[in-house]
């Protein structure tokens, strides 16, 4: 069935999107619980872990399973929380002003876009969660290909959010290592901060793209109704 294939594709996307953040948190937690020697740098600190996996390959299964569990917990956190801990520390999702601007562009260029303004949603008021979820449910019920395309944007946003939390977790773990191994702690806190900053700004772009994608896909679905241009 097509829906079974859709669920499978989404599940695979979710699986690979949670692993990086989960793995980094697991790695940093291991370093915090078993800190390296005083003079050890970050690469030398993780070498015993790599040696252990090489000597006992079945440890890799446990590492992947642990990373998936931690990543799944991180994934369950609302995306709006990740936005609120990322610069500029507030959430504007679903970016109502940007969506109004995008809809105005379509309306102003309706002939070029083959767009029927009367079949578009009214964005004069703010979009609440119920409206947003209704758009998603409509695509899921009536246009699975469009819904799968939208899900690819949502997965990217969740991937970025997972690494935002991973960066925060890494910085916290690094701070607990400072008294015992300042060299490795300094390196890990820099790596964690870079991950946090990079994916904080990436999260904003991903959420903006997600909002625009859902709006355009919902409009396209409505435009393809019986009175769409070119229909009988």
- The arithmetic mean of pLDDT across residues 188-215, rounded, is 93
CA atoms of 120 and 223, how far apart (whole Å):
8
Instruction: Report the domain count for the chain.
Output: 1
Q: Is residue 58 part of a domain?
A: yes
Does residue 228 sit within a domain? Answer: no
**pLDDT tens per residue, range 59-80:** 899 999 999 999 999 999 999 9
Cα gap 49→52, rounded to integer Å: 5
pLDDT in tens, 31-68: 888 877 665 677 777 887 888 888 888 889 999 999 99
> Which domain, by its residues, includes 13?
2-223
8-state DSSP, 227: T
Residue 232 lies in a domain: no
**pLDDT for residue 11:** 56
- Average of per-residue pLDDT across 91-101: 81
pTM of the model: 0.82
130-147 pLDDT, tens digit each: 888 899 999 999 888 899
Contact call for residues 123 and 103 (beta carbons, < 8 A): yes
Q: Could you tell me if residue 37 is inside a domain?
A: yes
- The verdict on residue 230 lying in a domain is no
């Amino acid at each position: 069935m097509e829906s079974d294939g859709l669920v499978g594709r989404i599940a695979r996307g979710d699986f690979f999107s949670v692993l990086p953040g989960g793995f980094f948190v697991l790695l940093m937690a291991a370093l915090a619980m078993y800190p390296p020697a005083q003079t050890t740098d970050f690469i030398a600190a993780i070498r015993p872990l790599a040696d252990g996996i090489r000597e006992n390959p079945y440890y890799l299964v446990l590492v992947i399973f642990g990373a998936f569990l931690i990543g799944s917990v991180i994934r369950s956190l609302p995306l709006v929380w990740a936005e609120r801990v990322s610069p500029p520390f507030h959430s504007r999702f679903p970016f109502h002003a940007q969506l109004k601007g995008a809809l105005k562009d379509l309306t102003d260029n309706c002939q070029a876009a083959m767009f029927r303004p009367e079949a578009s949603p009214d964005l004069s008021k703010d979009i609440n969660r119920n409206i947003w979820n209704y758009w998603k449910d409509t695509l899921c019920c009536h246009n699975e290909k469009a819904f799968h395309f939208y899900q690819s944007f949502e997965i990217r946003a969740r991937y970025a959010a997972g690494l935002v939390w991973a960066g925060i977790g890494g910085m916290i773990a690094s701070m607990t290592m400072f008294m015992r191994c300042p060299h490795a702690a300094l390196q890990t806190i820099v790596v964690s901060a870079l991950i946090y900053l990079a994916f904080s700004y990436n999260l904003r772009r991903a959420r903006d793209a997600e909002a625009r994608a859902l709006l355009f896909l919902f409009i396209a679905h409505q435009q393809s109704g019986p009175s769409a241009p070119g229909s009988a």
